[in-house]
């Protein structure tokens, strides 16, 4: 298979000798959005406008890292004409990326919304496409050899095998920090190894630690920290609150700024990108948490993914509490 199906922009285009972040998207999405005047079930609609973009949590994180000034490489799994279409979009948006083979092509998605209408948009997601073992191994070897500062594992990973966590352990032992923002079987396996950061929502935390369901958010995250070798934990509870516990022993409660929400899509990805962008070398986490929360809130107040204003306006910054 020609290399052009695998690689678009790669490390040679990035500045410096060590990449800041490699993001891994296990479930890439080729997404079309159709806008029509009025949605009427059971009838044929003609689109007034049509757009295309590449989705997936890792791609979103790379998009936002680019805006924040961090180098990243977005790794995904794709093959065939759809891979070329996705690669072209990523090239046009100056997002360095690398694809590993996926026989089925790329998962498609369609969003249908009214043009300046009042009906909520409708989204159709194609079937998940399980990753082949050969592509997973090739990806792991690539990351281990490249040794970025961070590997961010984002979103679902169809076809996950419990043995794959050994590859992530090897990457971490080679000197790369590992951030995990996934769910289901990958999360259950990855919290059993000493990754540097797990960022999940409360529901995902309770699925792996059911006994945390009746605890406060800070109590739940403290329980998770004691129950696993993960070095640092951040758990979100929608727009209501965020809790963080770090290997230094520091604990924080974050109360996000109140806003009129436009679209929450990409807000969790904005938080992860911002916390990696501002990760403190001196162990002082307050500024990084404040910036990450502000980026997530600003994203929720905008209609796109990562198109919030920079510098982030003060009104989006949270209240941060450090419990005694």
pLDDT (tens digit per residue) in 187-220: 999 999 999 999 999 999 999 999 999 999 999 9
Among 6, 96, 3, 93, CA closest to 53: 93
Residue 194 exposed, middle or buried by CB count within 10 Å (0-12, 13-18, 19+): middle
| Euclidean distance between CA atoms 146 and 140, whole angstroms | 10
- Band (18; pLDDT cuts 50, 70, 90): low
pLDDT (tens digit per residue) in 265-284: 899 999 999 999 999 988 78
| Residue 75 burial (CB count, 10 A) | 23
Q: Which domains are assigned to the chain?
A: 1-36+47-192 (3.40.1190.20), 196-324 (3.40.1190.20)
Indicate if the pLDDT at residue 105 is higher than 80.
yes
Please give the structure tokens belonging to residue 158: 């169809």
Among 276, 285, 291, CA closest to 322: 285
| Euclidean distance between CA atoms 144 and 137, whole angstroms | 11
Residue 8's pLDDT is: 45
């Amino acid at each position: 298979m020609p290399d052009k199906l695998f690689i678009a922009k790669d490390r040679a285009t990035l500045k410096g000798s060590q990449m800041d972040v490699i993001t891994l998207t296990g479930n890439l999405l080729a997404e079309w959005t159709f806008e029509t005047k009025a949605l009427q079930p059971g009838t044929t609609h003609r689109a007034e406008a049509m757009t295309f973009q590449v989705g997936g949590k890792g791609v979103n994180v790379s998009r936002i890292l680019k805006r924040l000034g961090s180098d990243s490489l977005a790794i995904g799994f794709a093959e065939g004409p759809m891979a070329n279409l996705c690669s072209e979009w990523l090239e046009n948006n100056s997002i360095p990326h690398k694809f590993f083979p996926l026989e089925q092509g790329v998962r498609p998605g369609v969003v249908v919304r009214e043009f300046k209408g009042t009906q909520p948009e409708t989204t159709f997601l194609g079937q998940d496409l399980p990753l082949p073992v050969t592509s997973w191994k090739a990806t792991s070897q690539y990351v281990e050899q490249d040794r970025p500062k961070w590997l961010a594992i984002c979103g679902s990973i169809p076809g996950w095998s419990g043995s794959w966590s050994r590859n992530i352990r090897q990457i971490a032992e080679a000197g790369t920090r590992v951030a995990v923002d996934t769910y289901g079987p990958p999360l259950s396996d990855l919290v059993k190894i000493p990754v540097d950061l797990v960022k999940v929502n409360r529901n995902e935390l309770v699925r792996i630690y059911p006994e945390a369901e009746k605890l406060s958010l800070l109590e739940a995250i403290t329980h998770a920290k004691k129950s696993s070798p993960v070095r640092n934990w951040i758990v979100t509870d929608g727009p209501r609150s965020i809790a963080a516990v770090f290997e230094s022993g520091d604990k924080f409660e974050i109360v996000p700024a109140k806003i009129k929400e436009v679209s929450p899509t990409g807000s969790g990805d904005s938080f992860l990108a911002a916390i990696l962008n501002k990760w403190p070398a001196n162990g002082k986490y307050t500024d990084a948490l404040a910036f990450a929360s502000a980026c997530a809130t600003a994203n929720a107040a905008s209609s796109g993914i990562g198109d919030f204003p920079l510098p982030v306006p003060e009104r989006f910054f949270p209240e941060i509490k450090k419990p005694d």
